[in-house]
Structure 1
């Protein structure tokens, strides 16, 4: 990547590869505890990267964050993937995109990836774990270890009845994107915390899913936290009690979100959610019992 396309925090280089970007759903559907006025009160900074005031639709991205740390190439989440059966999600169903070409053009060849972090096991975070090889799902990154939260592996896998069998997609996601990783002996399950290297540590952050996690970056004087789906919209940085409609345990997600954001504010961590458009990362400050936005990171806008 050209230097203008990445940022460096301490000894870690960071950039992202976008699989998809566009409008998702009305803001009040994504965050049921908000009102239309909540969104309109913040139009000046939400538009155009995070919300469309004319339609009321949230703008988001499906993207992979790429880290170079300790001589290794690390991917945080792997998007939707191609050719998947996803009957519950039209956007993901039988999708065919050029994500792998984008990844290669960014200088990341699948064989050179050392580690894949799945922050949780929803379908838009694990899709490119695998790809179709002669009709069989195989690991896309053949030399990588895949870090998978144990709680999600249990809940979404056969032990948990594929998330209780409520959605056919959950079984399909696990069987095409997780089972092949186990079969290839590339899965590493972890609980509570997991130290990747001197710069990076995973921490459990349950609520969105049972095993949802965040990744802490601490290198030199720089701090960042990749919060996955703990934050779907920057509105939640100002209103941390508002969980998304996609959270399996909204109350627990809100409690976890506040704890993580308090830590981020106190430690001056750059907050990097999974799905934000625009620069994709922002600092936050305490404002009484809530937070206010600081500086947005100088990362390049994700392509549409």
Structure 2
């Protein structure tokens, strides 16, 4: 039996099985060998490590059988996280990948997971999905052409995953009006994926700017997680930062601190939050930003 031109791996995510993605893959790429590992609906609620090991075993067997056949990989939500972890463990696999497509994967950490398990105590899969893997994703995307597709149905999220948490440098990005559950196998994704496959390139990083620098500084704060822009109007301006930028803060009813960057048109450029245990680290970062930008001294509780 001749080797296929491509092997297409599709990986489902949390609270799902492989059925929809297997069917989607066969429609998307009828001439590929389509493999969609089924992790089991219940197991996706528990721990990430056994799921990674399960997929790892299957991919290892595939590469042994087809050592020269290139792989195309599509991961939905947690499925994308699994593939990032696999490629981190097996850097040699990167040379086998033609491309990587992440559908609504919470690369920066899922905000809902951080809310469920704010102290990282290990509450089900929340502990694993709340981790910020943006640096890992950027390292891999510099080697493998990567496409990110994010859903946006409420001006900031697909109803489950924030648009901001899916984004990272060196990847191409497409925003679609689809809710999270439909992003694993919606027919509207087919032309987007096929167009990317025809021209899989590694995207350059964002050009240097004050906004990018400030966002990068904020995302380096221990425990920070991207926040939904819907809370931006509730925030209060703390200081101007130059270039028409404003630094804004808001605390919710539980005392969780949210920081926002806005522009002079009142648009939210970035939002993030930290839990109580990481509030001091955020305050130090914000004080440094204010000093760098020539703003006034202040405190989170001011």
Answer 1 or 2: higher relative contact order, Cα 8 Å, separation at least 6.
1
Q: Larger radius of gyration, structure 1 or 2?
A: 2
The structure carrying a bigger helix percent of its residues is 2
TM-score (ref. length: structure 2): 0.31
TM-score by length of 1: 0.31
